Amino acid sequence: MVDMEQAWLLPALPAAAFVILALFHQYLPRKGDLIAVGSTVLSFLLALFVAADLFGQLPAGPGELVGNTSGFDWVEIPDIDFVLRIGFRVDQVTMVMLAVVSFVGMLVHIYSLGYMKGEPRYGWYYAVLSLFVASMLTLVLADNFLLLYVTWEGVGICSYLLIGHYWERRTAAEAAKKAFITTRFGDVFLLIGIVMLWREAGTFDMSEIFEKAEAGEFGKTYLTAATLLLFGGAAGKSAQFPFHVWLPDAMEGPTPVSALIHAATMVVAGVYLVARVMPLFEASYDGALYFVVVVGLTTTFMAAFMGLVMTDIKRVVAYSTLNSLGLMMVSLGFGEAGVGPAMLYLFTHAFFKALLFLGCGSVIHATEKQETTDLGGLAAKMPITGRTFAVGALAMAGVVPLSGFFAKDEILVAAQDFSWAALLLILVSLPITAMYMLRLYLLTFTGEPRDRHAYEHAHESPPVMSWPLVALAVLAVVSGFVVFEPIGKAIGVHSGFLGAVENVLVEEVHGFSLDWAMAAVSTLLVVGGLYAGYYAWSGAALPAKAAGERFPFLYRLLRNKFYVDDFYQWVINYVVLGLAKVIAVFDRAVVNDTGVNGAGEVTNGAGFFLKFQQTGKLPNYALAMIVGVAVLAIVGFSVKG
């Protein structure tokens, strides 16, 4: 039986599938896709056993789990305390991620059988997808920062490769570069933060660093700086403001990839990291957590407003992802009390957001259109996609009793204890979220078809694609119920979701209690948002158009994504390229002309003068030899003398 000590098998299986597919996919039947799918299915089953082993040990307080670590020291340099450890560690926070990654990874592998059928580089697609699952599972299992960083880059490169899967399309190649470079900015912060922690603590091991931080062995300012640098890495990966620009463009990749990487797993790696290093935030100045809240709220609001006006259905879902990621970060900014809600949101979000993306994929597969101006009325043609999409949209909006409701409400409860300003702002964002989610559904699935030809062409997707939708829709409905204690007990945990997760951090847990007043307020706001959305966009969407014409400046501001992308382009054009020109001059004048060419010219000139020594006359050479020997002899004797 597999228990927590064999958790390394989870990433090992997809990694093996990657190696096999990357090397031999041309020679395998069906390009080896079934090997990749099989490895993820096995990984998911193993994850269930690992979960059973973990649940059996709960409730265990911080550090009380036994047999949950494995691994070995790969590289050791004793003189400088450097240990590169391939180490794995399972706890409740990890388990949430393991469940999400292995389950959504499995579904996306299956769904891709239909979606990617006959697409170019099919075998390579599956190879990279497996590599991604392997990297992501290692990332969440890593027990030290160095391994985490390695896999952090691993998921980054997979994201790059998969966004750029259709690299013949220029926009896809550009989007891949944009995603990679933008997240690299964050990654540099992360690396500096890790090195800072290592320099002071002499270890990469997370739990050791946390113990030292709690014991106050770091200078407080130093620790705060290092922690904020780690947060910089998390913000890059989780597309928080000001790094958010890459995520909408990442929609150039195949849709299942968007569902897996840019909704359910990789983008929440940042959230996971912040939750993981919460002890460091707790030991830092309070400002660090406030900073997280501010960044998260900024992201939430920018994304929610932009979601209102975008017309590409995948991009709207991408903005809703930004919105959710912002909320998770805000929740983490509340400190230890916010970790449980954030992880709950992460857990439920993975299901309903993957559902929304795969629903978009289904629409795109059927109509080959993804602009709302080309869609409409598809509910009749694609009943399964339409209904499951509606479930996903309502879960995202946070309608009772779908999963998004519980997650969002726990965040609100945590906000209550933190600050009323944050609470108010989150409440304000709720109706906006509800509005654009309903807008997306109405424009895609109801009303008059705006492109007759695409509409006639549309059909329900094959079962291999629709069944993952149904599975995710069911989970989008029920996954929120894990907060209730009886449900938790039914799946073998001692308490509900929050109690189990909070156990990792603190002895005392808040647990779950439904705040009726809060629930009522939030539900009222969500329903209000839905009503406003219905009023604005149902039918011919006349009120929405009128609003757009009434406030042209606002509309342009949102359509142009607050000009953030343009600002970055301006910086690149004038600052980066300007600096590059200066450096180019230096390169030309100093490095090239003086250094490289200079060395050549000196050699050349020396050769010109020395060549006259070669007279071609034998006696000259003989004389030189004899004089040379005589000089050497004299020197030799006098030195020895």
Partner 1 sequence: METAAEQIPLESFLFVAAVIFSLGVYGVLSRRNAVQILMSVELMLNAVAVNFVAFATYTDPELFRGLVFAVFVIIVAAAEVGLALGIILRVFRNRATANVDEVSELKW
CB closer to partner 1, 168 vs 613: 613
Distance in Å, CB of 622 to partner 1, minimum: 5
Distance in Å, CB of 626 to partner 1, minimum: 6
CB closer to partner 1, 614 vs 638: 614
What's the rounded Cα separation, in Å, for the pair 469 and 237?
Answer: 26
CB closer to partner 1, 421 vs 627: 627
CB closer to partner 1, 29 vs 616: 616
Got the DSSP string for 528-555? HHHHHHHHHHSTT-HHHHHHHHH-HHHH
Cα 110 to the center of its chain, rounded Å: 21
Distance in Å, CB of 635 to partner 1, minimum: 19
471 phi and psi, to 5 degrees? Answer: -60, -45
Distance in Å, CB of 637 to partner 1, minimum: 15
Got the DSSP string for 258-282? HHIIIIISGGGHHHHHHHHTHHHHH
Amino acid at site 199: R
Distance in Å, CB of 613 to partner 1, minimum: 8
What's the rounded Cα separation, in Å, for the pair 458 and 507?
Answer: 55
CB closer to partner 1, 584 vs 631: 631
Helices 269-276 and 313-333: angle between axes, nearest 10 degrees: 0
Distance in Å, CB of 599 to partner 1, minimum: 22
CB closer to partner 1, 602 vs 626: 626
Distance in Å, CB of 604 to partner 1, minimum: 14
Distance in Å, CB of 620 to partner 1, minimum: 10
Does residue 640 belong to the site contacting partner 1 (CB under 8 A)? Answer: no
For residue 88 the two structure tokens come to 């794995």
What's the rounded Cα separation, in Å, for the pair 347 and 98?
Answer: 10
Q: Contacts for 383-387 with beta carbons within 8 Å, 24 or more apart?
A: 383/460, 384/460, 384/461, 384/466, 384/469, 384/470, 385/359, 385/460, 385/461, 385/466, 385/469, 386/445, 387/473
Residues 555-614 touching partner 1, rule: CB under 8 A, are 611-612, 614
Amino acid at site 235: A
CB closer to partner 1, 170 vs 611: 611
Residues 608-637 touching partner 1, rule: CB under 8 A, are 611-612, 614-619, 622-623, 626
Closest to 264 (Cα-Cα) out of 474, 101, 36, 48: 101
CB closer to partner 1, 552 vs 619: 619
Number of residues that bind partner 1 (CB under 8 A): 11
Residue whose token pair is 């059996």: 56
Q: Hey, which residues does 72 pair with through a beta bridge?
A: 86
CB closer to partner 1, 420 vs 612: 612
Distance in Å, CB of 625 to partner 1, minimum: 9
What's the rounded Cα separation, in Å, for the pair 591 and 589?
Answer: 6
Residues that bind partner 1 (CB under 8 A): 611-612, 614-619, 622-623, 626
